[in-house]
Amino acid sequence: MTVIQTVHDNWGTIITIAGALKLLVDFVANSLPAPTAESSSGERWWFKFINNAALNLNRAKNLARVEDSPNFLPAAEAYRQKKNAEEAAAAANKP
């Protein structure tokens, strides 16, 4: 029996296994949190590699550009503090 004949006879099984593997890789890739400014280069590489393997090309290429900024975390903290101050002022002015 040739390889071509084996594949032809078992095409349904091969497609099912390939689909299950694709779903498994997708689930793993989508469960990964995006790297942040503190992430190591190894974490970034694995994130890109796994998302490329899962064909999540947009997620792999747009590697959290905002979070890569060295100012992201301080800016986010300043924004949270500003919002908390605004909410506290609004609550204090409420009758």
* Mean pLDDT value of segment 16-39: 81
Contacts of 43 (CB under 8 A, 6+ apart): 35
Task: Say what the pLDDT of residue 84 is.
Answer: 92
Q: What whole-number percentage of the chain has pLDDT above 90?
A: 5
35, 67 contact by CB (below 8 A): yes
Report domain extents, the chain.
Answer: 3-93
Contacts of 51 (CB under 8 A, 6+ apart): 29, 32, 57, 59, 60
* The pLDDT of residue 33 is above 60: yes
Q: Residue 67: which of 81, 95, 53, 47 has the closest Cα?
A: 47
pLDDT tens digits, one per residue of 47-85: 888 888 887 777 777 765 545 556 667 777 888 999 999
Q: What is the pTM of this model?
A: 0.47
